[in-house]
């Protein structure tokens, strides 16, 4: 299981990126999503906070769609 967070700061396209603990692009302002076995369940949690959430290209590439 990995710890995931969602960035409070949206990207230029409005997405809030979901990051795994240890990511080189881990945000300084985030909301904790808890431990998940995959980025997919972390994205489900993130969308409860920010409907426009997407996986980080670097640490959650399986869930990066844009």
For the stretch 4-61, pLDDT in tens is: 999 999 999 999 999 999 999 999 999 999 999 999 999 999 999 999 999 999 999 9
Q: What is the pLDDT of residue 60?
A: 96
User: What is the reported pTM?
Assistant: 0.94
Question: How many independent structural domains does the chain possess?
Answer: 1
Q: Is the Cα torsion angle 9, 44, 20, 5 positive or negative in sign?
A: positive
| Whether the Cβ atoms of residue 33 and residue 46 lie closer than 8 Å to each other | yes
Q: Name the residue range of residue 58's domain.
A: 2-63
């Amino acid at each position: 299981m990995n710890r995931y967070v969602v960035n409070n700061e949206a990207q230029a396209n409005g997405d809030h990126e979901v990051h795994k603990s240890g990511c080189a692009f881990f945000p300084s302002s985030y909301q904790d999503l808890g431990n998940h076995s995959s980025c997919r369940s972390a994205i489900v949690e993130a969308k409860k906070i920010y409907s426009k959430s997407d996986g980080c290209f670097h640490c959650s590439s399986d869930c990066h769609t844009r």
